Structure 1
Amino acid sequence: MAGSSHGHGHTPAAWTGVIIAFIGFCVAGAFMVMANVPGFWVGMAIIALGGIVGGAMRAAGMGQNKRPQREVRRSEA
C-alpha cells in the first residue's frame, strides 16, 4: 500500500482547488500583516471558493473516481 499510487490528488479538480486556496491564503496573509480586516476576510472567502470550485469540478467528473469498497470477510472461528 505504501508504494501504490491511486491518483492521490493528481486531478484537475484537486489542482485547481488547491491553487485557488493557496492564492486566498496569500491574500489573507498579506492583508493580515497590513492590519486590513476586510482584505483578510476577502482572502478567507477566496480560500472557501477554492473548496467550492474543487468540489464542483469533482462533481463534473474532473476529480478522482471513488474506489470500490473492499468486502470484509469474517473468518469463522
Structure 2
Amino acid sequence: MAHHGNTPAAWTGVTIAMIGFVVGGVALMMTPVNMTVFWVAAVITVLALPVFAVMNKMGMGD
C-alpha cells in the first residue's frame, strides 16, 4: 500500500468516473434534460470500477 492511489489503475478508474460525472452533469443542464445522454454517462461511470479491477489484477495497481 505504498502508492496510496498513485497507480495507473487508480488514475484510469478515477478519470473514467470523472468523465462520466461531467457528461452526466452536462446532460442534466441541457434544456430539456437529455435522459439518453444521462444514462450513457451513468454507464460510463459504473464501468470505471471493473476497469480499475481488471487493471489492478493485471499488476498495474501495485
Same fold (TM over 0.5): yes
Letter paired with 1:21: A
Match of 2:48 among 47, 50, 66: 50
Aligned length: 60
Letter paired with 2:4: H
Task: Tell me which of the two structures has the higher relative contact order, counting C-alpha pairs closer than 8 angstroms and 6 or more residues apart.
Answer: 2
Determine which structure has the larger helix proportion and give its number.
Answer: 2
List gaps (5 residues or longer) in structure 2: none
Give the TM-score of the pair, scaled to structure 2.
0.89
Give the TM-score of the pair, scaled to structure 1.
0.73
Task: Name the SS of the counterpart of 1:22 in structure 2.
Answer: helix
* CA deviations over 1:14-53 (Å, ceiling 9, x no partner): 0000001100110011001111111101001100111111
Structure of greater Rg? 1
Note if 1:59 corresponds to 2:48: no
